[in-house]
Amino acid sequence: SAPALTLVAMLAAAIVTLTVNMSANVVSPSYDFANVAPRHISRRTGGMLVGFFGIACQPWSLLSSPSGFIFNWLGGYGAGMGAIAGIMIVDYWIIRRRELSLRDLFSENGVYRYTGGWNRRALVATLLGLVLAWGGYVISPMHGLTKYGWFVGFFVAGLAYLAFVRIGAPARRPVTRMDQEPA
């Protein structure tokens, strides 16, 4: 009776883990797909796209070798997150000096509005960080940079973004501080 109960409990834990993780990991990207083209992609269609891309990218092949998963997938993912984090930290802490305008965060014409909705300086800085951080996957002499992809992406993208903002027109500064209530 104890082994049967253990088997049922393990099966229940596996089902709960799968269903909770699947539902939690489908909601956000399905909303992202729906927000890209809201007239054409509903949240339900976005969820279907997530399922399709989830199968198409063959996640089971990531688990075929521990080193491929850890060093290639997680290292590459971390390098991408490092580049994004570098830009966000430079923008908030250095360029905007920790000042945010709550009103402008939600305004279509606020200080955080960019050409066509894209901050081109941040995009180019991200690409520079990613090229150097991911370059070792395709260019052997750059493999040393890829081993430290998070740091390379973080510093290259952050410093490039800072240089682009300092060279070009300055970022628009908000009028109110983050801790103040909007009028």
Spell out the SS3 assignment of 100-168.
Answer: CCHHHHCCCCCCCCCHHHCCHHHHHHHHHHHHHHHHHHCCHHHHHHHHCHHHHHHHHHHHHHHHHHHHC
CA angle 71, 77, 81 (to 5 degrees): 135
DSSP type of residue 170: P
pLDDT at residue number 104 = 85
pLDDT at residue number 93 = 95
- Tell the residue number behind the tokens 């052997």, with chain if given: 140
Helix (H) or strand (E) holding 169: none
pLDDT at residue number 74 = 84
- In angstroms, how far is the first alpha carbon of the chain from the final one? 67
What is the residue-wise DSSP string for 42-111?
A: -HHHHHHHHHHHHHHT-HHHHTT-HHIIIIIIIHHHHHHHHHHHHHHHIIIIIISTT---HHHHT-TTST
**What are the pLDDT tens digits along the chain (183 aa)?**
789 999 999 999 999 998 888 778 889 899 999 988 889 999 999 999 998 988 888 777 777 777 777 778 888 899 999 999 999 999 999 998 888 888 888 888 888 888 887 889 999 999 999 999 999 889 989 888 988 999 999 999 999 999 999 998 766 655 555 555 554
Whole-angstrom distance, CA of residue 36 vs CA of residue 41: 8
Whole-angstrom distance, CA of residue 52 vs CA of residue 177: 43
Cβ contacts of 6 within 8 Å, gap of 6 or more? none
pLDDT at residue number 170 = 63
